[in-house]
Amino acid sequence: MNTNILLLCGGDGSEHDISLLSANFIEEQLKLTKNFNVVKAVIHDNKFIVDENTNSYFDMDGDFVYGDKKLKIDCVVPCLHGIPGETGDIQSFLEILNIPYIGCKSEASRNCFNKITTKLYLDALGIPNTPYAIIPLNNEYYKQIALDFFDKYQDIYVKAASQGSSVGCYHVTKRDDVWDSIVEAFQFSSEVIIEKNIIHREIEVATYQMNGELKITNPGEIIIPNNLFYTFEEKYSKNSGTITTVTPENLSEDEISKIKDLARRAFVGLKLRHLSRIDFFLSKEDGILINEINTFPGETPISMFPKMLTHNGDVMSEFLANAVNDAIKNK
C-alpha cells in the first residue's frame, strides 16, 4: 500500500529558491522508498502550485486537490526554509487539518525562528549564548539601550528577530551607524536583537531522531574567508569562498563532548522533533556558545545537515522514511 506524501517547498520568503533546491534533493531521497508516492507542490503567492501551472488546495475533508486529481495525504514534508515553514505557520495549518508532517511542531518552530525567543529559552535552560539586548520598539528609549550596548562592546551585530539566512543582519562598528542599522532591520521584522560580535570558529552539528533515538553528529565547520559575515550571498553564491568540512581540525575531545551535550540539551529543552541543525560559536574569549537553531536546515547538495548525517553513518533516505513513519504513527 502506498504512502502518499506531499512535499511542500518554495514559500514567499527570501529563501524561496534555496527551498526549491533542497526539495529536489529531498524528492530524490523520498522516492528511494518504494511505497512512497510523492507529489511536490510549490508555495508561491499563498497558493499551492503543482506541475508549474496547476493551482491546488486542500478541500473540506483535508484531501489535496490538484488539477483533476484528489489525493488523501498521509504525510507532509514541509521543505520550507524561513517563511512559512520554520515560522510554525504551515505546521499550524496542517495541525488544523489533522494531517501528519515531519519536523518540529508549530510552537517549537516559532520559538526557534524568532531569535529573541530562542535566546530566552537558552537562558532559561542555562545554555550559553552570545550577549544581547532586545529592541522591541523603534523609539528613543530603546535607542539609548542600543547605544549603551554598543558603548560596552564596540563591535556588534544588528539582526531582524524573525528572519532566516542572515536577512536583515548588519555588522556595526561605528556608533553613528547603530540606530540606522536597527531602523533598517525593522523593515524585515517587528522586533530587533543586537548581539556582541564574537571572534569565533563557526561549528555546526546535525541533531536528528531515528528509531526513537536522538542522534547528535560530530561537529562540522564553516570556514569563512577573511572573517567575513556569513551573509545570504556568501552562503549560496557560486562565487562563495566559504569552505565547509565535516572533519574540522584542532577540536579537542572535551570541546566536541561539550558541543554535543549542549546540542542535546537544546533539542530536548526546546522540544524539537525529527531534525534540526544547531550552530555554535567557538571562541577563545567566550568559550562555546549556541548561535542559532534551524528547524528545517538546508538540504541542498552543499548543505551541512545531509553531509553530517551521512558522515555519522546514516542514510538520508532511511532517515526520511523513519521520520515519515513516525509522524504518521504519532499523529
State how far the Cα of 166 lies from the Cα of 146, in Å rounded to an integer: 20
Q: What is the pLDDT of residue 323?
A: 98
Confidence label for 302 from pLDDT (cuts 50, 70 and 90) = confident
Q: What is the pLDDT of residue 226?
A: 62
pLDDT in tens, 112-123: 999 999 999 999
Confidence label for 269 from pLDDT (cuts 50, 70 and 90) = very high
pLDDT at 309 exceeding the cut of 80: yes
Confidence label for 29 from pLDDT (cuts 50, 70 and 90) = very high
List the domain boundaries for the chain. Answer: 3-102, 111-128+199-329, 132-196
- The SS3 call for residue 220 is strand
pLDDT in tens, 64-97: 999 889 999 999 999 999 889 999 999 999 999 9
State how far the Cα of 52 lies from the Cα of 41, in Å rounded to an integer: 9
What superfamily in CATH does domain 132-196 come from?
ATP-grasp fold, A domain (3.30.1490.20)
For the chain, the maximum distance between any two Cα atoms, rounded to a whole number of angstroms, is: 64
Rg for the chain, CA atoms, rounded: 20
CATH architecture, domain defined by 3-102: 3-Layer(aba) Sandwich (3.40)
State how far the Cα of 80 lies from the Cα of 15, in Å rounded to an integer: 8
pLDDT at 312 exceeding the cut of 70: yes
H or E segment to which residue 80 belongs: none
pLDDT in tens, 279-288: 999 999 999 9
pLDDT at 210 exceeding the cut of 70: yes
**Exposure pattern of 92-105 as b/e (b: 16+ CB <10 Å)?**
ebbeebebbbbbbb
Choice between 326 and 300, residue whose per-residue pLDDT is larger? 326
For the chain, what is the mean pLDDT? 92
Helices (H), the chain: 16-30, 89-97, 106-113, 115-124, 140-153, 178-185, 232-236, 253-269, 304-311, 316-329
> 119: closest CA among 305, 289, 296, 284?
289
Is 186 within 8 Å of 138 (Cβ atoms)? yes
pLDDT at 135 exceeding the cut of 60: yes
- The mean per-residue pLDDT over the stretch 28-49 comes to 95
Q: What is the pLDDT of residue 234?
A: 46
CATH class of 111-128+199-329: alpha beta
Q: What is the pLDDT of residue 242?
A: 60
Q: What is the pLDDT of residue 241?
A: 52
